[in-house]
Amino acid sequence: RPLPISARQTELGLGSRACNFCASSILCNCPLVAGLTMAVDDDRSKASGSVEAATTFASPGKDDAMAMVGEERHVVDAAVEARAVRKIDWFLIPAMIVGYGLVYYDKAILGSAVLFGMTKDLQLSVVDASTTPPTVDTRRLSWATSLFYFGMLAGLYPMTFALQRFDIGRILGVVVILWSAICMLTAAVTSWQGLFAQRFFLGVVESIIPTGFMCIVSGYYTQSEQSLRQSWWFSSTGLFTIIGGALNYGFAQIQGGGPRPWQYIYLLAGSLTFLFGCFCFAMPNSPVSAWFLTREEKFAAVERLRHGQTGVRCTKFKWSQLKEAVLDVKVWLVALMMASAYTMNGAVSVFGPLIVSTFGWSTLASILFQFPLGGICFIVILLTGYLGSKFNNIRILMLVVTCLPVIAGCAIIWKSEWSYHAAAPVVGYSITGFFGGSVSLVITIGMSNVAGHTKKSFMAATIFVAYCVGNIVGPQLVWSQTKSEHYPALWLGLIICYIICITAAVVLYFVLRNENKRKMALPEDEAERAKLAFQDLTDKENPYFRQYLRFGLESG
């Protein structure tokens, strides 16, 4: 706990000089001075050097935190730390829930829009009358879905590294407002070709959100806190499935002239996104520049991240870290897990309501059946995030466990009777919502097990490149000509994907465990550990970084 101003501080010159932390020119008791007084020994030159390190700007290539806390470890007030975390939570988490919720709603409303006349208005399906009975070709709808993710693929790496290099608030604000405009312009589209173009560019601008949020969480929170915080914002996948379903159900009641119901949906989504874009301009770059924290709270918010060795933010792009990331097997195992797990979303987010309607349910009832799917998704994401933050060594185990209900749900839908108002396939459809927990855990495992800002940015972008691959593949598994056979390619393909995800998770566990064993055999020096924390070193360069499931010991 910081001590009152003392004769020892005055002797060392810590309370009588102009303090670069609190800008005081008189005797000061800011956390920097108190922390340094507790950390230094009786040697004046060592104390003086610590002050200089902690009160100058970070040199190029070093973490931004270096300018505030320096290389030496400092003791901070636990009450101040708790207050800082609480403020960070209240500022970041609601904003990220809304932001990612809008991303998910924007993607998923295509599935509801096709039930409200969009398919007919934009010729997204083609009826082949030459067959008996006539068949419907929905490949245009599949490509409208997939092109969004091709756009995301094009934007992910440029957007992610732009967030690393430039002001986060300005970049986010401008791109999100552009996203809102493109979304609202969907209402003006009059052909399937126009929708294809709109979906591609929508994917480009929306790519900034998920990777940006992943990097923000890893820069503000300790490893033990990241699981819960990542799950909070990602849980909007389920939450906005419910909220979006309710809104879409309301728009379905609109009758008469004027815009079609599906056009109202896009106008609303774009308007909400515009408001979120205006808020994004207030987003700080890191705890160092968080305007909603006091100087004392900023110091605590940064210093508490030292032990995890993951750093806060470094704006310099490092080719050596990029090379390491490309050659790191962990990155590609996480990517394989994400691509496999998110194939489910690619199929269900757009074709889910359409598939449910084939069970004999009306258009409106098909929308309402998104509620249990979204509810299960929401609850499982939050539950896995909470458990991952409370118990040791269970994240990969939970990932495997959450994959099993998804496999069971796919099998139930595929093999059950699709009679009029059939209940079994609806139950199977609902329990596939466990996929949200699987994906949330992949994000947490990936981001908490790498360090170095360029490498973290690459990991975040690669995770969502894999996310795009899964979303591109998913719709292509829906073959309309196999409807009478219950879309076997879709359900068998999804079952195989989740078996791959489980296998990759098991392999990753042994990779992480072996890396930890190797590092734990090395001698430790606490002074060196504190010094290396904010040098922007990668997990492989830093001998004190520990691979993480929950608590950085043996875990992987």
Instruction: Supply the DSSP string of 18-86, one letter for each residue.
Output: PPTTT--SSS---HHHHHHHHH--S-HHHHHHHHHHHSSPPPTTS-TTHHHH-SS-----HHHHHHHHH
Whether the predicted pLDDT of 315 surpasses 50? yes
Q: By 3-state DSSP, what share of the chain in percent is helix, strand and coil, each rounded to 5?
A: 70, 0, 30
Residue 72 lies in a domain: no
Are residues 24 and 154 both part of a single domain? no
Are residues 403 and 454 both part of a single domain? yes
**Alpha carbon distances (Å) from 279 to 95, 275, 430:** 8, 7, 34
Are residues 26 and 167 both part of a single domain? no
Are residues 15 and 121 both part of a single domain? no
- The CATH number of whichever domain residue 374 belongs to comes to 1.20.1250.20
State the pLDDT at residue 534.
55
Residue 285 lies in a domain: yes
**Tens digit of each residue's pLDDT (9 = 90 or more) over 157-201:** 888 878 877 888 889 999 999 999 999 999 899 888 999 999 999
Q: Residue range 382-403: average pLDDT? A: 87
Domain that residue 435 falls in: 78-219+226-249+257-518+526-532
Residue 294 lies in a domain: yes
Q: What pTM was estimated for this model as a whole? A: 0.70
Averaged pLDDT score across all residues of the chain: 76
What is the amino acid identity at position 349? S
Are residues 31 and 82 both part of a single domain? no
Are residues 33 and 134 both part of a single domain? no
- Number of domains present in the structure of the chain: 2
Identify whether the C-beta of residue 92 lies closer than 8 Å to the C-beta of residue 58: no
Whether the predicted pLDDT of 126 surpasses 90? no
Residue 552 lies in a domain: no
State the pLDDT at residue 132.
67
Residue 551 lies in a domain: no
Residue bearing the bigger pLDDT, 255 or 493 = 493
Identify whether the C-beta of residue 434 lies closer than 8 Å to the C-beta of residue 177: no
Mean pLDDT comparison of 80-89, 103-112, 541-550, highest-scoring range: 80-89
Two tokens, residue 267: 């106008």
Are residues 348 and 413 both part of a single domain? yes
Cα separation, 415 vs 412, in Å, equals 5
Cα separation, 349 vs 470, in Å, equals 12
Residue 548 lies in a domain: no
Are residues 46 and 82 both part of a single domain? no
Are residues 284 and 157 both part of a single domain? yes
Residue 553 lies in a domain: no
Mean pLDDT comparison of 60-74, 275-289, 406-420, 528-542, highest-scoring range: 275-289
Are residues 107 and 30 both part of a single domain? no
Are residues 84 and 22 both part of a single domain? no
- Assign 530 a pLDDT band (cuts: 50, 70, 90): low
Are residues 178 and 49 both part of a single domain? no
Residue 4: exposure state from Cβ atoms within 10 A (0-12, 13-18, ≥19): exposed
